[in-house]
A = this chain, B = another copy of it.
Amino acid sequence: MKPKILLFLLIIPIVLSANIKLQEHPRLLLTHADVQDIKQNLNDAPLFFASYKMVKDEIDDILNLSMDVPMPKDAGGGYTHERHKQNYKEMMNAGALYQISGEEKYAIFVREMLKKYAEMYPGLPLHPVTRSNYRGKIFWQGLNESVWLVYAAQAYDCIYDFLTIEEREYIENRLFYPIAEFLTKDNLSTFNRIHNHGTWAVVAVGMIGYAMGNKDLIDKSLYGFYKNGQGGYLAQINQLFSPDGYFTEGPYYQRYALHPFITFARTIDNNQPELDIFGYKDGVLLKAVASQLQLADSNGLFFYLNDALEKTWHSEELVYALDIAYSKNPDGYKSFLSIAKEQDRVILTGDGMKVARAINNKEDNTFRSRSVLLKDGAKGDEGAVAILRAENEDETTVVFKYTSHGLSHGHFDKLSISFYDQGNNILQDYGAVRFLNIEQKNGGHYLPENDSFAKQTVAHNTIVIDKQSHYNGDINISENFSPKHLFFIQKENMVAAAAEDSTAYLGIKLNRKVAIVEDSNFECPVLIDIFTVSGKSEHTLDLPFYFKGQLIGANFTYKRHLDSQQVFGDENGYQHLWLEAEGKSDLPVSSLTFLNGNRFYSLTTNVTPETELFLTRIGANDPNFNLRNDQMYMLRDHNKSERTYVTILEPHGEFNPIKEYTVSSYPKIKNIEIVDNKRDSSTLILNLTSGGSVKIEIGNRKDSM
Contacts and interface: CB of A to CB of B under 8 A. Distances in A.
A553 B444 CA distance: 13
A442 to B, nearest CB: 11
A155 to B, nearest CB: 19
Interface in A57-103: 77, 82, 85-86
Given A566-B564, A622-B560, A552 B661 contact: no
A562 B663 contact: no
Contact of A564 (B314, B560, B564): B564
A540 interface: no
Interface stretch (A31-39, A432-440, A515-523, A678-686): A432-440
Contacts of A559: 623
Interface in A300-350: 309-312, 314-316
A623 B311 contact: no
Nearest to A578: B565
Given A562-B623, A629-B617, A665-B77, A311 B593 contact: no
A438 B316 contact: no
Interface string A622-649: 1111001100000000000000000000
Contact of A437 (B553, B620, B662): B662
A560 B625 contact: yes
A436 B660 contact: yes
A625 B659 CA distance: 24
A657 interface: yes
A659 B620 CA distance: 31
Given A441-B552, A623-B560, A82 B565 contact: no
B621 A658 contact: no
Interface in A396-441: 435-441
17 contacts: A85-B660, A309-B657, A310-B658, A315-B658, A435-B550, A436-B657, A437-B660, A438-B552, A438-B595, A438-B662, A441-B552, A444-B662, A550-B625, A562-B621, A563-B620, A564-B567, A581-B625
Contacts of A82: 661-663
Interface in A440-483: 440-441, 444
A415 to B, nearest CB: 29
A16 interface: no
A505 interface: no
Contact of A440 (B552, B578, B623, B663): B552
Interface in A601-628: 615, 617, 619-625, 628
A562 B85 contact: no
A553 B617 contact: no
Contacts of A77: 662, 665
B655 A437 contact: yes
Contacts of A437: 655, 660-662
A437 B595 CA distance: 13
A663 B567 CA distance: 36
A659 B259 CA distance: 13
Nearest to A85: B661
A696 to B, nearest CB: 27
Interface residues of A, number: 58
Contacts of A439: 662, 665-666
A551 B625 contact: yes
B552 A435 contact: yes
A271 interface: no
Contacts of A214: none
A665 B441 CA distance: 10
Nearest to A569: B563
Contacts of A662: 77, 82, 436-439, 444
A575 B563 CA distance: 7
Interface in A566-604: 566-567, 575, 578, 580-581, 593, 595
A352 to B, nearest CB: 18
Contacts of A575: 563
B311 A438 contact: no
A384 B552 CA distance: 36
A180 to B, nearest CB: 24
A86 B659 CA distance: 11
A620 B580 CA distance: 9
Given A440-B553, A444-B662, A662-B82, A311 B564 contact: no
A488 B314 CA distance: 44
Interface string A528-564: 0000000000000000000000111100000110111
A440 B564 contact: no
B620 A550 contact: no
Nearest to A312: B658
Contacts of A552: 435, 438, 440-441
A309 B657 CA distance: 8
A541 B631 CA distance: 33
A621 B565 contact: no
Contact of A665 (B310, B440, B624): B440
Contacts of A595: 435, 438
Contacts of A565: 564-566, 578, 620
A563 B566 contact: yes
Given A315-B658, A559-B623, 13 more contacts: A85-B661, A310-B657, A435-B550, A435-B552, A435-B655, A436-B657, A438-B662, A439-B662, A440-B553, A560-B625, A562-B567, A563-B575, A565-B565
A615 B622 CA distance: 13
A30 to B, nearest CB: 21
A628 B560 contact: no
A657 B311 contact: yes
A628 B661 contact: no
Nearest to A628: B550
A593 B617 CA distance: 23
A661 B566 CA distance: 38
A552 B553 CA distance: 33
A623 B615 CA distance: 12
A655 B310 CA distance: 12
Contacts of A553: 440-441
Contacts of A621: 562-563
Closest 10 pairs (CB-CB, A-B): A440-B553, A437-B662, A563-B567, A551-B625, A565-B565, A310-B657, A562-B621, A77-B662, A560-B623, A440-B552
A315 B656 CA distance: 11
